Amino acid sequence: MKILIVNGPNLNLLGKREPGIYGARGFEDYYNELKKRYPEVEFDYFQSNVEGELINKLHEVGFSWDGIVLNAGAYTHTSVALQDAIRGINTPVIEVHISNVHKREEFRHHSMISCACQGVICGFGLDSYRLAVEAFLAQK
């Protein structure tokens, strides 16, 4: 099983960025733990602050990989182009968020991409990514 984790804008700052909301742990550290926990899964990780680069990555893997775990960051709430990209590929995408966006500002309550994703997991901290991996494994 090949699973790609994609993080969007500002998620390169995890561990430093608003730790009260996103926690004090950097993503690389968490990602290494995830890889150890699921040795049977072939993971790859991609982060970009640039919308078009996220789209290019979805196009690149979206016809051959088994699953994509996508935290689109703030593009979640704005990007028609990401919604179209998810609709345009075959690989199922699970939308994840570290924080519970529904407990936060109103502009975070709407996602432009949920309607194109297989499902949504939010509010479990970094564990949201693992729960998405579990969801893919359960469908194997």
Report, as residue numbers or ranges, the catalytic residues. Answer: 22, 97
Looking at the Cβ atoms of 48 and 76, the one nearer to ligand DQA is: 76
Looking at the Cβ atoms of 1 and 131, the one nearer to ligand DQA is: 131
Site for ligand DQA in 50-109 (CB under 6 A): 71, 73-74, 76, 97-99, 101, 108
Q: In the 3-class helix/strand/coil scheme, how is 70-133 assigned residue by residue?
A: EECHHHHHCCHHHHHHHHHCCCCEEEEECCCHHHCCHHHCCCCCHHHCCEEEECCCCHHHHHHH
CB 116 to ligand DQA: min, Å: 16
CB 40 to ligand DQA: min, Å: 26
| Token couple for 90 | 């075959």
61 with 91: CB under 8 angstroms?
A: yes
Tally the residues of the chain: 140
Size of the site for ligand DQA (CB under 6 A): 10
8 with 49: CB under 8 angstroms?
A: yes
| Token couple for 136 | 């893919």
Rg (CA), the chain: 14
Looking at the Cβ atoms of 61 and 98, the one nearer to ligand DQA is: 98
CB 37 to ligand DQA: min, Å: 20
CB 71 to ligand DQA: min, Å: 5
Residues that bind ligand DQA (CB under 6 A): 10, 71, 73-74, 76, 97-99, 101, 108
